[in-house]
Amino acid sequence: MLTDFRVRQRDYLLEITRAITAQLDLDAVLRLVVEAAAEMLAGQVAFIALREEDAFTIRAAYGLPDTQWGELDALLARLPAYPEAWGRAEVERVLTQIARWLRVEAQQAVALPLMVGEDLLGLLVVFRTFGTAFTYDDRLILRAFADQAAIAVHNAKLYQQLATEKRRLEAIIEATADGVIILDPAHRIQVFNRAMARLTGWSPFEVIGRPHDEIVILNPRRSGMTLAEAEAGGWPLATDRPIYVEGDLVRRDGGRVAVGITYSPLLDRTGRLVNIIGVVRDMTRIREAEELKSTFISIISHELKTPVSIIKGYAGTLRREDTTWDATMVRQIAAIIEEEADRLTQLIDNLLDASRLQAGALELQFVEVALDELAEQVADRFRPQTDRHFIVVDFPPDFPLVQGDPRRLEQVLANLVSNAIKYSPQGGTIRISGRVTPREVIVTVTDEGIGIPPEEQERIFERFYRASTARARQTPGTGLGLYLARAIVEAHGGRIWVESEPGRGSSFSFSIPRPRKSTGSPSEPRS
């Protein structure tokens, strides 16, 4: 009879061991272990406490509401975190305290440490309402059960950690700004992140399993991968020897994106190629920066050379010893030198302002500004500089004051009027007008010049940008004036825009917010 009981006990142990080890979900494994232990030992209450950060925390229980787990954790904290420090009396004292707190009439408490090698994973505790002496075979079966349970818990924890790391890696890959593509040894796509989808126009669902060379096409070279392998002599390579290629990535819609791709091999312990990891970086901004740098050097060198050459030429003329200049000619030459020096100063000031803008250090001194009076001053300054243009100032009476930096706002107006003169070579009327809305005042400078193509009207406010028309290219300038004008207007809380038709002139407008009044009408005219 006893032999049959032992056989059934071992069969039961084998059955629950199979069930436990078949699970990889940690919470499910813990529930199976604690329920199996309670059933096998006929326990009234059972729980598993895992060791987390050198303290025990209950993670699964039988016959114990989860609302009580936290309070038991405090009692378990009296146990040393390492089993070699346990004493029999100490363990029994803690278990007795738990039984009293639970109000369980326990005749026997079974505590099984869950060990894997030398590592303590946790503690399995079962309280029984009757007590029987454990035979040697009973202890073997319990120890076997505890060992199998520990292995199952250990495997489930490893699986949980692996799943967590996998999710973390997937989140990192998806969140990275660079495109990431992971290939198998046959160059079939296994991973294709969100940035890669944005760069190529292909969705991950469409490309998984497809050959790399069908999706990642570089011009003028057809395939970055084929080229990379050809240049490197084939895979596998050492892990510290990635392959780098650059080119224009052909998007699904036929567009192109400048990219740099780094291909790195992932090898197993035997050196066999497991995956190829490609990191695709959008090089558009880098190329734009390089083009901007080249444009800057080209424009500035030309714009600096012109006034310096004129100043040097006229200064050399004055120094000639074989000619005597009359006072009128000397004044004319001095005026030209002064004009070119002013032009050079203005160019330097614009460059300094552009640098301050980049550094966020363009300071404004706000006072009350009368834009109609400022417009008259600018018009008076430019009228003597041209005999082909008729400059008109047209503002309604009692134009309201605004808060602004008068020197910077004059710089905006001067730039717009100067451009109107430069880009209307046949002459005509240049009108500086103003209008008032409930929220802002708007100033417009209109010319009758060459106009601006629609596709370039947004870009003309970019730094160093010059319109592509032949006349615009022939007109001196650095492409900084409108860039600075936009920055100054936006620093005042306003906006700037252009309305233009090629061959029919342009109207540049900017707005400045009106001061808010706590009482009274929305605007108060000047007295």
| Domains of the chain, residue spans | 1-164, 177-286, 298-359, 367-513
Query: Cα-Cα-Cα-Cα dihedral of 480, 485, 491, 497, to 10°?
Result: -120
Q: Which amino acid is at 320?
A: R
Q: Do domains 177-286 and 298-359 have the same CATH topology?
A: no
Q: Which of 39-48, 348-357, 407-416, 465-474 has the lowest mean pLDDT?
A: 465-474
Name the helix (H) or strand (E) containing 310.
helix 284-318
Work out the number of other CB atoms within 10 angstroms of the CB of residue 4.
Answer: 8
Residue 455, CB-side half-sphere exposure with 13 Å CA sphere = 2
User: Alpha carbon 87 to chain centroid distance?
Assistant: 56
- CATH topology assigned to domain 298-359: Helix Hairpins (1.10.287)
Beta strands in 283-371 (DSSP E): 367-369
Q: Which of 37-51, 216-230, 318-332 has the highest mean pLDDT?
A: 37-51
Q: What is the model's pLDDT at position 334?
A: 83
For 236, the 3-state DSSP assignment is coil
In this predicted structure, the answer to whether residue 43 has a pLDDT above a threshold of 70 is yes
Per the prediction, the chain carries an average pLDDT of 78
* pLDDT, tens only, 360-416: 556 778 899 999 999 999 998 888 888 889 999 999 988 999 999 898 898 889 889
Extract the tokens encoding 349: 């000031």
In this predicted structure, the answer to whether residue 355 has a pLDDT above a threshold of 70 is no
More confident residue, 339 or 426: 426
Q: What is the model's pLDDT at position 300?
A: 62
Helices (H) and strands (E) counted in the chain, each on its own, are 15, 17
* pLDDT band at residue 296 under the 50/70/90 scheme: low
Q: What is the model's pLDDT at position 472?
A: 44
Domain 1-164 - what CATH class?
alpha beta
Residue 29, CB-side half-sphere exposure with 13 Å CA sphere = 24
Q: Which CATH number fits domain 367-513: 3.40.50.720, 1.10.443.10, 1.10.8.50, 3.30.565.10?
A: 3.30.565.10
- CATH topology assigned to domain 177-286: Beta-Lactamase (3.30.450)
In this predicted structure, the answer to whether residue 291 has a pLDDT above a threshold of 60 is yes
Strands 256-267 and 243-250 turn out to be: antiparallel
Name the helix (H) or strand (E) containing 246.
strand 243-250
More confident residue, 59 or 9: 59
In this predicted structure, the answer to whether residue 172 has a pLDDT above a threshold of 50 is yes
